[in-house]
Amino acid sequence: MEEEGCRPTLITYNVILNVYGKMGMPWNKIRALVESEVFQEMKLAGFVPDKVTYNALLDVYGKSRQTKEAMEVLKDMEFDGFSPSIVSYNSLISAYARDGLLERQQP
C-alpha cells in the first residue's frame, strides 16, 4: 500500500486483523503480525488502538484458542479507557466455549 502512495489508516489495521481471523490463518502468523507488525506500525503512524481494534484482536485470539491472551487484551482495553461492549464479551464467551472452558450447569 505504502509503495503505491496509500497510507494505512486505523480502519486499515482493524480490517487486517478481522480478515486474518476470518481466514483461519495459522496462529503463529497472526501472532507475529499482531505483535511485531500491525500494532507497531499502527503506533509508529501515530494511531492509538480504539475499541474496534481491541475487539478485532479479542476475536482473533479467541478464534485461535488463546483465551489467556484474549483476557490480557480485555485488561489493556480497559486500562486504555475503553469499556468492553457486547461485542467484546461475545468474543470472550465464544473463546471460552471454543476452548471448552464453559461448563454447562444442570438445574
Contact 70, 61 (CB under 8 A): yes
Please tell me the distance from the alpha carbon of residue 47 to that of residue 107, in angstroms, as a whole number. 49
State the pTM of this model: 0.61
Would the pLDDT of 33 be above 90? no
More confident of the two residues 58 and 64: 58
* Separation between Cα atoms, residue 47 and residue 21, nearest integer Å: 21
Cα(34)–Cα(16) distance, integer angstroms: 10
Task: Work out the mean pLDDT of the chain and round it to a whole number.
Answer: 77
